Amino acid sequence: MGIEIAGKYHRIFVSRARRKGLANWIALRGDALLLLSAVLPARFAAAVHVYFPDPWPKSRHQKRRLFDPETVDLVLGLLAPGGRLSFATDFLEYGEKVADLLAGYPGLEVARLHGPWPEGPRTNYEAKYEAEGRPILRLEAAFALPDAPVHPGGEAGVIAALAPKEDGPDA
């Protein structure tokens, strides 16, 4: 399954999948965060691949990022027991933020790949960027326990973690 918001890239994905004669695929067009929160079922994916997502580098656009403290549960919540997340970006500042976010996630083990994927580039962007000599940050993650619940503290833990701390003698 692929999710793409831009019509041009959605059409490219569909065209390539058809040309290759693939039988087990679906292409969704829309905002990934909306689809993750309202359409896709929890814990259904054996693997989630996020390659070269838009980093939304401008401050006013960062709320659209796929990985931030408010949306990471949506992404990781897709993983079935034993599922794996693969991530790659050439926008290193964003990649480091994703690495830190995932490293602090309860029960999630994160590994940074130093070098290319063993089987070679996974996307056309990756092949192009490798040829250009761009640095690429690659991560793989999985829960330490295959059946670990997503965010073990539950919704209240997420809300508490995001709530601003009060200033004062008891804070």
User: To 10 degrees, the CA torsion angle through 115, 146, 26, 112?
Assistant: -10
Out of 54, 68, 73, 147, the active site residue is 54
Q: What are the domain boundaries of the chain?
A: 1-30, 31-162
pLDDT score, position 142:
95
pLDDT score, position 63:
77
- Mention the CATH class of domain 31-162: alpha beta
pLDDT score, position 15:
94
Computed over every residue of the chain, the mean pLDDT equals 84
Do 106 and 74 touch, CB atoms closer than 8 A? no
Judged by phi (left if over 0) then psi (alpha if -120 to 50, else beta), residue 106 lies in beta
Give yes or no: 54 in active site. Answer: yes
**pLDDT (tens digit per residue) in 101-125:** 999 999 999 999 999 999 999 998 8
Q: Whole-angstrom Cα distance, residue 121 to residue 116? A: 7
Q: Residue 96 to residues 37, 65, 83: CA-CA distances in angstroms?
A: 24, 14, 22
pLDDT at 152 over 50: no
Q: What is the mean pLDDT of residues 34-41?
A: 86
Given pLDDT bands bounded at 50, 70 and 90, which one contains residue 169? very low
Q: What is the mean pLDDT of residues 22-42?
A: 88
